C-alpha cells in the first residue's frame, strides 16, 4: 500500500485544523455573499464603512446591506501611526526671514486593520482573519508664517492660500484630517480585493 508523503500529511493536518476551528479555506461562490458592516472604532465620519460598502457592491461577488444579516465584515483598526518624513526651514511669522531651525513639512500616515467575516449564527469566523495595511503621504505648511497662508490676487486683495489648497498647503492638523479619505479609500480597496481573492 502506498504511503502518504510527509508533505501531503502536513497539508492534511493544516486543513483539519482550519476546519476544526470553524474556518472555511475559501468562500462559497455559488451566489453573492450578503455582508453587513458593524461600526468601526475611530471611524467617526464613517469614511471607511462607506468606502467598504461601495467596494463590496462593485465586485459583484458580494451584496452589502445596512440591515441585520448572518455574515458581518468586521474591521478592527490595529494601528494608526503618523511619522514625520520631511522638514523645511522655519521662517519668522511677519517678515518671512529664514530661521535657524527646521519645521516639519511632510508626514506619512500608516493604518493597519484586522479583517474577518463573522458568522453571527455560530459566532465563529467564516474565514481566517487577515491584516491589511495602507499608507498616505502629505505635505503641509506652518500656518503661523504669513507668507504661507496669504497672497495678493490680481485685484490687489489679500486671499488665504489654505482655502485653495488640496491638502499640500494645509496646516499640519488640516493635512492629517484630509489624509483620512484617500487613506481609507485605499484601505477599503485592499480589504475587498483580498476578500475577492478568497471568494474566487
Q: Tens digit of pLDDT for each residue in 126-147?
A: 888 999 999 988 776 665 554 5
Q: Which pLDDT band holds residue 101 (cuts at 50, 70, 90)?
A: confident
- Rounded distance, CA 35 to CA 81, Å? 29
pLDDT reported for residue 183 = 92
158 phi, psi to nearest 5 deg: -80, 135
pTM over 0.85: no
Mean pLDDT of 160-170: 48
Q: Which three three-digit cell numbers place residue 1?
A: 500500500
For residues 117 and 129, the answer to whether their CB atoms sit within 8 Å is: no
Asked whether the predicted pLDDT for residue 21 surpasses 60, the reply is no
pLDDT reported for residue 131 = 97
- Other beta carbons within 10 angstroms of residue 141's beta carbon come to 22
Q: What domains, with CATH codes, occur in the chain? A: 24-199 (3.30.160.150)
Buried b (16+ CB within 10 A) or exposed e, 14-48: eeeeeeeeebbeebeeeeebebbbeebeebeeebb
Please, is 137 exposed, middle or buried when counting C-beta atoms within 10 Å of its C-beta (0-12, 13-18, 19+)? middle
- Rounded distance, CA 89 to CA 73, Å? 46
- Rg of the chain in Å (alpha carbons): 24
Q: Which three three-digit cell numbers place residue 69?
A: 444579516
Tell which wins on pLDDT, 147 or 66: 66
Whose CA is closest to 111, among 85, 75, 140, 87?
Answer: 75
Q: Cell 506652518: give the residue.
A: 142
Tell which wins on pLDDT, 63 or 162: 63
- Rounded distance, CA 52 to CA 191, Å? 8
Please, is 86 exposed, middle or buried when counting C-beta atoms within 10 Å of its C-beta (0-12, 13-18, 19+)? middle
Mean pLDDT, the chain, rounded, equals: 76
Asked whether the predicted pLDDT for residue 86 surpasses 50, the reply is yes
19-33, 96-110, 169-183: which has the minimum mean pLDDT? 19-33
Amino acid at each position: 500500500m502506498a504511503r502518504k508523503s510527509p508533505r501531503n500529511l502536513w497539508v492534511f493536518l493544516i486543513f483539519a485544523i482550519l476546519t476544526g476551528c470553524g474556518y472555511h479555506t475559501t468562500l462559497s461562490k455559488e451566489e453573492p455573499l450578503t455582508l453587513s458592516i458593524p461600526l468601526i472604532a475611530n471611524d467617526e465620519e464613517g469614511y471607511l464603512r462607506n468606502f467598504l460598502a461601495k467596494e463590496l457592491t462593485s465586485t459583484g461577488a458580494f451584496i452589502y446591506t445596512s440591515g441585520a444579516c448572518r455574515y458581518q465584515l468586521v474591521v478592527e483598526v490595529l494601528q494608526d501611526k503618523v511619522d514625520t518624513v520631511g522638514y523645511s526651514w522655519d521662517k519668522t511669522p511677519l517678515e518671512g526671514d529664514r530661521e535657524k531651525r527646521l519645521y516639519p513639512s511632510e508626514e506619512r500616515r500608516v493604518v493597519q486593520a484586522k479583517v474577518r467575516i463573522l458568522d453571527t449564527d455560530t459566532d465563529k469566523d467564516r474565514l481566517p482573519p487577515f491584516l491589511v495595511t495602507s499608507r498616505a503621504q502629505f505635505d503641509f505648511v506652518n500656518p503661523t508664517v504669513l507668507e504661507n497662508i496669504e497672497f495678493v490676487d490680481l485685484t490687489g486683495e489679500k486671499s488665504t492660500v489654505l482655502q485653495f489648497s488640496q491638502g499640500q498647503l494645509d496646516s499640519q492638523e488640516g493635512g492629517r484630517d484630509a489624509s483620512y479619505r484617500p487613506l481609507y479609500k485605499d484601505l477599503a480597496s485592499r480589504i475587498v480585493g483580498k476578500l475577492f481573492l478568497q471568494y474566487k
